[in-house]
Amino acid sequence: MATSTISLHNKQFAPYLSAAELAQAIQQLATRLNQDYAGKQPLFLSVLNGAFMFTADLLKNMTIDCEVTFIRVASYAGTASTGSVKEVLGLYEELADRHVIILEDIVDTGHTMRMLLDTIAAKKPASLEVATLFMKPECLEHELAVEYVGLSIPNDFIVGYGLDYDGLGRNYPDVYKAV
């Protein structure tokens, strides 16, 4: 794990979670998903931009037949949620009677996830679940049943492993938190 702080824009970030810790959490999620979706051929719906690394590493650990597609939504400005969700890139796959699993980098307020769950549920999937690498339970403003959580974390602002601060920091293999 990195031992020094990084600087992004006007903020400093200290090492928080190593790539090895992330890999272990993802492997545990993949094991559960492989068991729960055996014989079902789920469609993973990855939320861009943040979930791209999580999605790639999770799918490398999937042993069942599955598909992946991507949707892009935005709800952040700087280090805080704007409270509104804007769909940037739509979903074009047929979801009726499919087993859909939304892959998200982080669930904090739940605004994005609530909108996605409502939008996707209207398309009548056979089942609909959420798998997130990070969950901030104390930040939730919506009642959400998130079945697959890699790591529950406190309300720290984090970057790395796909998560950014105004566009920077996604490329780090470890996760850092603001200091």
Contact 120, 93 (CB under 8 A): no
CA distance 50 to 163: 5
Sheet bearing 99-107, strands edge to edge: 80-89, 67-77, 43-48, 99-107, 127-135, 148-152
C-beta atoms surrounding 18 within 10 Å: 14
65 catalytically annotated: no
Residue corresponding to tokens 């069942």:
64
Catalytic residue among 57, 108, 164, 174: 108
The tokens for 21 are 């810790």
Q: Is 39 exposed, middle or buried (0-12, 13-18, 19+ CB in 10 A)?
A: exposed
Q: Which residues are catalytic?
A: 108
